[in-house]
Structure 1
């Protein structure tokens, strides 16, 4: 991995996301989830939307944005959204599932 991001710690609910050749960590911390909830609405509703296949790209980008731990310098939310589209849902599904599992199950 490049930059200051250490290997994601699964015990803390962290996940790795490949972003333009760099690995970034997503950490669903309390502060990150509160920020996501303020933007996206209640987390249980977010999980329900995901389970029903109604989670939008915008929802996913917002959740990932708020969960970024030590994002690379210069990373913008727009660039994150573009990277999500470039990667495709098949590659992102395990990362999203891990974060949603963390929301439901905690540490």
Structure 2
């Protein structure tokens, strides 16, 4: 698995024994928006402290790049919970920054 490339707006997250790369590509963000609603509203909820754990995991799920075979969304969610919000928040910040700023 490749390491996250900050020049692409990527972020890394530990899931089980592996590090997964999250890449906010156009296709990923369109899929996330289809499920979670307008991205600007998602950013506003996050800024106000109103982003739910499910929304965070949903955004992460859609932004997964070259995920390990067999990884499920439930496993990703459990990894976020096990790692705690202190580990997930910097990843979320990178993705939200890319939503607002682009590359």
Quote the residue 1:84 is aligned against. Answer: 80
State the distance in 1 between where 2:54 and 2:94 align: 18
1:74 positional shift: 0.8
Q: Confirm whether residue 35 of structure 1 aligns to residue 41 of structure 2.
A: no
Secondary structure in 1 aligned to 2:70? Answer: coil
1:21 positional shift: 1.5
Match runs of 1:50-89 below 5 Å: 50-89=46-85
State the distance in 1 between where 2:47 and 2:90 align: 14
In structure 2, which of residues 7, 11, 15 is the aligned counterpart of residue 11 of structure 1? 7
What is the total number of aligned residue pairs between the two structures? 103
- TM-score for the superposition, normalised by structure 2: 0.98
Secondary structure in 1 aligned to 2:33? Answer: helix
- RCO (CA 8 Å, sep 6+): is it higher in 1 or 2? 2
Runs of 4+ aligned residues of structure 1 deviating over 4 Å after TM superposition are: none
The runs of 5 or more residues in structure 2 that have no matched partner are: none
- TM-score for the superposition, normalised by structure 1: 0.94
